Amino acid sequence: MRSKVVTAGLILAAIILLLWTLFPFYWTIITSLKHRAEITLTPPTFYPHTFTFKNYIEGLFGAFPPMLAYFRNSFTECFGGAAIALLIGIPLAYAGARYNFKGKKDIFFTVLTFRFLPPACVVIPIFMFARVFGLIDTQFLMACLLAAMNLPIVAWVMMSYFREIPRELEESFMIDGYSEFQAFLKVTLPLSRPGLIAVTLLIVALSYAEFLFSSILTSSPAAKPLTVGISEYMGGEWGYYWGRIAAVTLVGFIPLLIIYLIVRKHLVRGLTFGVIR
């Protein structure tokens, strides 16, 4: 039995940790609800004395910067990138899990190195390439880059997932009278659903938070995502709009929260590499 002192200590530690984690979140919320004048008060107020939704309305629907367009870009680029990563990564993972072929190790190591490289190292060469092909400031370029960054995650997570699925199930399906591709579609993929959902969520979330590449490779409402867009409220001619930054950040967080709540069940099962039994 644990002593009461230890239990009390653990609870206290948990409370401190919780405050530590949640305080910035709380601060963002109250900032988004304060008038501009109150935000910069010294000493700061710990709850909004003035209460307003103006930050939300102006922050989201103001003519400039066009936040809704940035939202749209973020979604298109994240889901487009995820789709490309899954489209390439899943067959790659399946081949890695089921077949031995020459250069298999090299291919997988190369894919993994996409993730090793510090993004700052490659962003300038990519910029120069993209300019040659006229791809600067396009959603297509951003989707492709996000896909490249996330391909290793898809390939490695899904490979371990496919390995967990007994080969016999696919073989049995083939003996029943189907092709290997049909067996993959109708047996392997449905059985890997928890893994697929988890990995998709993970890469969408990572892409959604991407900043460096977007800040250099996008410049207009045609392709600029939310992360970069929000920063337009910082500095510039009109100074810092902390209230709007907080409001847009919170709204930007909602999609992630929804996805997370929907797939929470799968996330836990997926990331623990749940075995099918």
Partner 1 sequence: MGGLKLINISKKIGGKKVLDNVNLTIPEGVFTALLGPAGAGKTTLLRIIAGVESPDSGKIIIDNKDVTGLPPKYRNVAMVYQTFALYPHMKVFDNIANPLKAKGMKPDEIRRKVMDVAELLRIPHLLERYPRELSGGEMQRVALARAIVKEASVYLLDEPLTNLDYKLRERMREELRTMSRKMKFTIIYATSDPIDVLTMADQVAVILNGKILAQGPVQEVYERPCCVEVAAALSFPPINLIDAIVERRNGTLILKMPFAEIEGTRWADKLSTERKYLIGIRPHQIVLLKDRSAEYDVVLEAKLHLAHVIGSETICYISINGYNLRILLPYIYRMTREEEKVFIGFNYDNLLIFDGQTHARVV
Q: Please, which residue, 106 or 168, has the CB nearer to partner 1?
A: 168
Site string for partner 1, 190-209 (x = CB under 8 A): xx------------------
Task: Give me 202's structure tokens.
Answer: 């993970």
Q: To the nearest whole angstrom, how small is the minimum distance from the Cβ of residue 166 to partner 1? A: 7
Retrieve residue 155's tokens: 């390939």
268 binds partner 1 (CB under 8 A): no
Binding segment toward partner 1, per CB under 8 A, in 43-51, 136-144, 163-171, 204-212: 163-171
List the one residue from 171, 211, 212, 235 that touches partner 1 (CB under 8 A). 171
267/107 Cα distance (integer angstroms): 28
Tell me the longest C-alpha to C-alpha distance in the chain.
Answer: 75
Q: Please say which residue, 181 or 238, places its beta carbon nearer to partner 1.
A: 181
On whether the CB atoms of residues 34 and 48 are closer than 8 A, the answer is yes
The one-letter amino acid code at 267 reads: L
172 is a contact residue toward partner 1 (CB under 8 A): yes
Q: Which two tokens stand for residue 251?
A: 């709204």
Contact between 239 and partner 1 per CB under 8 A: no
Closest alpha carbon to 44 in 65, 61, 23, 72? 23
Please choose, from the candidates 202, 255, 197, the residue with its C-alpha nearest in 3D space to the C-alpha of residue 70: 255
The mark string for 24-43 relative to partner 1 (x by CB under 8 A, - otherwise) is --------------------
Q: Which of 24, 168, 254, 261 binds partner 1 (CB under 8 A)?
A: 168
N- to C-terminal Cα distance for the chain? 35
The contact set with partner 1 (CB under 8 A) reads 166, 168-169, 171-180, 187, 190-191, 276-277
